[in-house]
């Protein structure tokens, strides 16, 4: 059965460096640890004999640099782009709490709910359309290839889970919706239904 691997790009901040929200408008490169994460992903695929037949990537630098460690031929697609966090971009979570966004942060972190009045550049409706188009892109390639890999960002992954996966509520309740940098998700698609094989796993946990 064909399998889709959704990968969150590697780290963009080094240990001890101030971490801030980076969205569609903050095009950061990978940090040294992020490059190491991408290399570990490549090694994990190779060790298991998994041949990446189709590799997709968000056009953001951090995603492309991750994808470049996995295979030579990359198709960049804006459908995999990160959310435009608007005024949140460049701010730390602590700074956002100081500005009174505690509830919006909780709903986004735990449930992937897009806040209505938080200054984001992406609306819930825009993201829904983006995810639906990305879903169709994945399905089209899964009909042609056994192994499809897509490198994207945490915001996209949360929205994809919310819009497409039956396991969404379980992921929320178990506090597993967020995918850490350099981690990935394994999905299968059959009978017009997505099945989560794993979500937010480390590279060494990849299965064939």
Within 8 A by CB and 6+ apart from 12, the residues are 22, 28, 29, 30, 31, 34, 62, 181
DSSP-H helix ranges across 32-145: 32-47, 61-68, 93-98, 102-111, 124-142
Q: What percent of the chain has pLDDT over 70?
A: 100
What confidence category does residue 1 fall into, taking pLDDT thresholds of 50, 70 and 90?
confident
CB 196 within 8 A of CB 4: no
Where do the domains of the chain lie, and which CATH numbers do they carry? 3-205 (3.40.50.1240)
pLDDT at 25: 97
Reduce the DSSP state of residue 203 to 3 states and report it. helix
Kindly tell me if the per-residue pLDDT of 116 is higher than 90: no
Residue 93 CB burial class (10 angstroms; 0-12, 13-18, ≥19): middle
Angle (CA) 40-138-176 rounded to 5° is 55
Reduce the DSSP state of residue 45 to 3 states and report it. helix
Residue holding tokens 């940090």? Answer: 31
pLDDT at 117: 83
Cα–Cα distance for residue pair 178/158, rounded to 1 Å: 7
Task: Give tens-digit pLDDT for 118-129.
Answer: 899 999 999 999
**DSSP-derived secondary structure for 128-191:** HHHHHHHHHHHHHHHTT-SEEEEEE-HHHHHHHHHHH-TTHHHHHHTT-----TT-EEEEEEET
Kindly tell me if the per-residue pLDDT of 179 is higher than 90: yes
What confidence category does residue 145 fall into, taking pLDDT thresholds of 50, 70 and 90?
very high
């Amino acid at each position: 059965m064909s399998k889709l691997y959704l990968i969150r790009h590697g780290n963009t901040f080094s240990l001890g460096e101030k971490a801030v929200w980076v969205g569609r408008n903050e095009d950061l490169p990978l940090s040294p640890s992020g490059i190491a994460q991408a290399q570990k992903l490549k090694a994990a695929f190779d060790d298991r004999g998994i041949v990446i037949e189709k590799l997709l990537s968000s056009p953001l630098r951090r995603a492309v640099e991750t994808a470049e460690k996995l295979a030579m031929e990359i198709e960049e697609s804006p459908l995999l782009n990160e959310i435009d966090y608007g005024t949140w971009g460049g701010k730390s979570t602590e700074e956002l709490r100081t500005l009174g966004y505690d509830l919006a942060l909780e709903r986004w972190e735990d449930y992937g709910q897009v806040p209505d009045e938080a200054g984001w550049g992406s609306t819930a409706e825009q993201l829904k359309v983006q995810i639906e188009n990305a879903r169709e892109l994945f399905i089209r390639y899964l009909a042609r290839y056994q192994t499809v890999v897509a490198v994207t960002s945490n915001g996209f992954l949360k929205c994809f889970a919310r819009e497409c996966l039956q396991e969404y509520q379980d992921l929320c309740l178990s506090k597993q919706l967020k995918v850490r940098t350099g981690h990935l998700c394994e999905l299968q698609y059959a009978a017009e239904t997505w099945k989560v094989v794993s979500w937010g796993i480390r590279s060494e946990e990849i299965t064939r």
